[in-house]
Amino acid sequence: MKINVLVAEIGSTTTVVNAFDEIFDNCPIFIGQGQAPTSVREGDVNIGLRAAIKDLSERLSVDNLEYDELMSTSSAAGGLKMTVHGLVYDMTVRAAKEAALGAGANLHIITAGKMRRSDINKLKEIKPNIILIAGGVDYGERETALYNAELIRGLNLDIPIIYAGNKENQEEIREIFKDTKMKLYITENVYPKIDQLNIEPTRKIIQEVFEEHIIYAPGMGKVREMVKGPIIPTPGAVMLAAKLLKEEIGDVLVLDVGGATTDVHSVTEGSDEINRILVSPEPISKRTVEGDLGVYVNLNNIVERIGLNNLASRLNIDSEKLKNLVENHKPIPISDIEKSFIEELTFEAVITAVKRHAGRLRDLYGPSGKKTIAEGKDLSNVKYVVGTGGALTRLPNRIEIMKRIPLNNKGNELLPNKDVKILVDNNYIMASLGVLSEKYPEAAIRLMKNSLGIE
């Protein structure tokens, strides 16, 4: 059996492969899915990748599965580890952070102003995949970015550097990193003018640099032996899918509740009414990742947020039975009570993560009376909430969980309205379709709409 494209999602623990065929026709097909443990510890992720392809073959009852192309997303080996260094936290640092998160990065250090010795020591310990330097609007402050670049140069680590700051510094930045092991990439300023974000060029180059250097990450050394197509950080691939979907159906909010984190992706310009009173700019495409909200690895964090007595009351069970659920939780719930337990945790993760992602209205009082301002991301224009990831594609009450988001608005929060429509990535292929969209956007959107159950 031969198909057009396989897309591998190489995770930290599991590798999943999704098979797609007839992608050049008007009706592309999702063939099926296989999975296997990721083999990072063996030093060769291809072992797990081949095992996942074998699992897919067995599910399809074929002896020899062939394919024209193999693409990949990856969050193995710690995913895309980045550090970001800018000038003012609420300006250039925030812009650089948005670009990095939107590209699918895991941010390990964020600094504002001149870096300290402790920052440099942390940088040496972390050994990120990419270091991003920003700072200063165009033709504005120059010294901080140059100072930070000199400190980072002194480490002479074999790590790619992206410069996305004041354009006046570009020649000096080139001189600083000349004759070092640190390969330099220069792109447009992420914050060229006051209250103007320009994160898309930086987001794009982050993904290009990641793809170029991913082979140097632990366990990823042989990935290019099999994957000839693009390799994108898994969260970045979900963002690409969300942006494609927004172009097709309108403003979207995509939620992914996982075992360790909860990711929120929004693609919306917000409402004109809120934009008129917004105090600082927000990107159209925004991603936040909540590292304390996971329904397996970080389960205890969510249980603590809810409270044991409150959770037991919601589940209508005694404290002893709840304690047993917490202590013996499984990666995949099986019994009805296990599913109800994970649903309560998922709801808490969804509401908390969305509220952290969203902005809010605030009243200011002065000599002229009350003035209302808006801060943060406006989600009030979102037309669709999309659930992807294990919890929000497999739990029985996944749709009801997402329907409750607008009902938890305290009145001043810029959450989706109650008429928002709920969609589920039933085939759990959104990340795969993000990477597929880089080369086959028309096939990707058709497959996505089919998975979401929309025409």
- Calculate the alpha carbon distances from 403 to 28, 48, 188, 220, 392 in Å: 30, 37, 40, 40, 12
For residue range 159-218, list pLDDT tens digits in order: 999 999 999 999 999 999 999 999 999 999 999 999 899 999 999 999 888 888 776 666
Q: How far apart are the first and last CA of the chain?
A: 29
How high is the pLDDT of residue 215?
A: 63
Compute the half-sphere exposure of residue 28: CA atoms within 13 Å on the CB side of its CA.
25
**CA–CA gap between residue 341 and residue 176 (Å, rounded):** 55
Give me Rg for the CA atoms of the chain: 23
* Residue 24: Cβ-neighbour burial (10 angstroms; 0-12, 13-18, 19+): exposed
Average pLDDT of the chain is 92
In this prediction the pTM is 0.89
In three-state form (DSSP H/G/I as H, E/B as E, the rest C), the secondary structure along 135-167 is CCCCCCCCHHHHHHHHHHHHHCCCCCEEECCCH
How high is the pLDDT of residue 46?
A: 83
Q: At 404, is the pLDDT very low, low, confident or very high (cuts 50, 70, 90)?
A: very high
For residue range 15-33, list pLDDT tens digits in order: 899 999 999 988 999 999 9
Portion of the chain with pLDDT greater than 70, in percent: 97
How high is the pLDDT of residue 155?
A: 92
For residue range 117-142, list pLDDT tens digits in order: 999 999 999 989 899 999 999 999 99
Q: Which two tokens stand for residue 63?
A: 């002896």
Section 332-343 average pLDDT: 93
pLDDT at 309 over 90: yes
* Domains of the chain with CATH codes: 2-77+219-229 (3.30.420.40), 80-216 (3.40.50.360), 246-429 (3.30.420)
pLDDT at 225 over 80: no
Q: At 221, is the pLDDT very low, low, confident or very high (cuts 50, 70, 90)?
A: low
How high is the pLDDT of residue 323?
A: 93
How high is the pLDDT of residue 45?
A: 80
How high is the pLDDT of residue 410?
A: 87
For residue range 264-303, list pLDDT tens digits in order: 999 999 999 999 999 999 999 999 999 899 898 889 999 9
pLDDT at 262 over 70: yes
